[in-house]
Amino acid sequence: MARVVIMGGGVSGHTAATFAKKWLGNKHEVVVTPNSLWNWIPSNIWVDVGEMTKEDVTFALAPVYKKAGIDFRQAKALGIHPEGKEGSDKPYIVIEYTSKEKEGQKEELTYDYLINATGPKLNFAATPGLGDANGLGEHTVSVCTADHAVHANHELQKVFQKAKTTRQKILVGTGHGMCTCQGAAFEYIFNIEHEAKEAGVRDNLDIKWISNESFLGDFGMGGFATSSKVFAESLYIERKLDWVIGAHVNKVEAGKAHYELLDGTMGVEEFDFAMLLPPFAGVGLKAYDKAGADITDTLFAPNGFLKVDANYAAGAYENWKASDCPHTLQNPTYHNIFAVGIAFAPPHPISKPMSSPNGTPITPTPPRTGMPSAIKGEALVR
Amino acid sequence: MAEKHIGHIEPYSAQAGTMIPLGFQKFLRTCIIWQFIRFIAINIRMTILILKSHH
C-alpha cells in the first residue's frame, strides 16, 4: 500500500490525515508536524479577549494519532527531494525532530504521495518593528497562534485597567500592504469593542481600524454581494470605530505605526495597544533534484507557497476568472505532491490589485480561513 | 444630522458618507430571535453553495 506523508497537522493537514485513514484505510500514513498541539485557529479570536482559554482551542495530537493508527512524527520538514537521490528513485523529505526526546535529529522519510499542509509562515519580519525572523516583536500583539492570543489578552486587560483613569488608544488591522486575514482583525476589533463595554471602559477608549483594503468590507475578496462596504461601514460607525484604509504599514515602533496610503501620502497612528496582522508566506521549504541541485523555484512560487494546478498566467485583473483556481491541488511537475489549506499558491489575488504612486503594492491577498482549509483537506482525500 | 448614538461626524471624513443605523436597525442587530433566523438563512445559503460545487 502507498505511503502518504502529510506535512502539517493543522486544520487542513489533520483533516486530510483523518479522512485518508477513514476512507483509504491506509496503513502507511505519516503525519509530520512541529507542534504537539492542534489549534482551531479561528477561535483564537475568543482567547485573545479572554472568552476562551488556550486549552479550549487546542488538543494533543499524539494520542489521537496513536488511536487512529497514524504514524505521528513531531518534526518540521526541511526539504523535499521529489526525484530521490543517488542510488534511489524513491522521493523523500528531510525532517528535523522538535520533540524533547529527539530534538534536532534529522531523518529522511520516503513517500509515495506527499501532502503539503504546512500553513503560513507568519512573516512579521516583512514590516520593520512588527517582528523578526524569530516571530512577533514587542510593540504589538498577535492573534495568529493560541500562545499569541493568550499574550494579547494579558496586554488588553492591562489597557482596560489603564483606561479606567487615562484615555487609551487601540489600533487593530493589518501590519503590511499585502496582508490577508482581514476577517480575523475584523472579528477582533468588534470583540474588543464589546469587551470594553462589558468592562465599563468603552467611553475612555479610541478604537481605530487600519488595513490595506481599498474600501471597508473588502476582506480580500473585493467585497461580496455588493453590500459588504455599506454593511461594514454601518457596523463600524454604529460602534464608533474609526478607520484608515488603503494603508501599507511600513514601520512599527513603540506606540507608533507608520503607513503609506494608496494616494502616496504618509501617516502615523499612535497607539497604546495594537494588533497588526503579519503578511503570510510559505514556511520556507526547499526542494532538490536527484543530483542535489536546488529546484525550489520549480515546486514553489516566490512567496514560498506550493504551485498547484492553478492558472498562474492569468495576467491582468480584467482576465481573472474563478476557473483560474485549482481543481485537484496537485503540483503540475510532480503529480504525487499536493498542497492544501494555506500552503498552496493561489493563482492571483481576488481583490483588485492597487499600488501607490510610489509603486508600493497595497492589495489584500486572497483570504485564507479555517472552514475552507478543512474542506480542502477532505476534498483532496476524496 | 448624526444620530445621537453616533455622535458628531466630521464633514468630508471617511465616516461622512456612511449609512448610519437607526433605532430599529440597531435593535435588529442584537435581537436574538432575528439573528437566529438570519443564522439559519445564512447556513442554508452556504449549504446550497457547497452542494452545488460538488461534482
What is this model's ipTM?
Answer: 0.78
Distance CA A329, CA A335 (A): 10
Q: Which residue segment(s) compose the domain that A165 sits in?
A: 124-278
Q: Is A236 in the B-facing interface, judged by CB distances under 8 Å?
A: yes
Quote the number of domains for chain A: 2
Q: Which residue among B9, B19, B29 places its CB closest to the CB of A230?
A: B19
Helix, strand, coil tally for chain A in percent (to 5)? 30, 25, 45
The reply to whether A157 and A239 lie within a common domain is yes
The reply to whether A290 and A272 lie within a common domain is no
Q: Count Cα neighbours of B1 within 13 Å in the Cβ-side half-sphere.
A: 2
Residues in chain B closer than 8 A to A237 (CB atoms) = 6, 9, 15, 18-21
Give residue-wise pLDDT tens across range A355-366.
999 999 999 988
Q: Would you list the domain boundaries of chain B?
A: 21-53
Check residue A226 and give its pLDDT.
Answer: 58
Q: Which residue among B5, B19, B50 places its CB closest to the CB of A234?
A: B19
Find where cell 482583525 sits.
A185
The reply to whether A288 and A159 lie within a common domain is no
Q: What DSSP letter does each residue of B25-51 carry, written as one string?
A: HHHHHT-HHHHHHHHHHHHHHHHHHHH
* Residue A356 belongs to a domain: no
* Residue A357 belongs to a domain: no
Check residue A181 and give its pLDDT.
Answer: 87
pLDDT at B3 over 70: no
A109: helix, coil or strand? strand
Find where cell 471597508 sits.
A216
Q: Which residue among B18, B29, B50 places its CB closest to the CB of A237?
A: B18
Q: Is A261 in the B-facing interface, judged by CB distances under 8 Å?
A: no
Identify the burial level of A84 via C-beta atoms within 10 angstroms of its C-beta, where 0-12 means exposed, 13-18 middle and 19 or more buried: middle
Q: Please state, in angstroms and as integers, the Cα–Cα distance from residue A249 to each residue in A123, A244, A328, following that order.
A: 13, 11, 36
| pLDDT range class, residue B7, cuts 50, 70, 90 | confident
Identify the burial level of A254 via C-beta atoms within 10 angstroms of its C-beta, where 0-12 means exposed, 13-18 middle and 19 or more buried: exposed
Chain B contacts in chain A segment 352-381 (CB below 8 A): 375
| Contact predicate A377/A13, CB 8 Å | yes
pLDDT at B1 over 60: no
The reply to whether A271 and A138 lie within a common domain is yes
What pTM does this model have?
0.89
Q: pLDDT below 70 — which residues of chain A?
A: 26, 224-226, 370-371
The reply to whether A261 and A293 lie within a common domain is no
The reply to whether A255 and A143 lie within a common domain is yes
Interchain CB distance below 8 Å, B18 and A234: yes
Residues in chain A closer than 8 A to B9 (CB atoms) = 237
Nearest chain B residue to A242 by CA distance is: B15
CATH at residue A45: 3.50.50.60
A341: alpha, beta or left? (left if phi > 0; alpha if psi -120 to 50): left
The grid cell for A72 is 505521528
Nearest chain B residue to A229 by CA distance is: B18
Q: Is A234 in the B-facing interface, judged by CB distances under 8 Å?
A: yes
The reply to whether A90 and A191 lie within a common domain is no
A331: helix, coil or strand? coil
Interchain CB distance below 8 Å, A238 and B21: yes
Nearest by Cα to A364 from A228, A230, A256, A272 = A228
| Contact predicate A287/A294, CB 8 Å | yes
pLDDT at B19 over 90: no
Check residue A248 and give its pLDDT.
Answer: 97
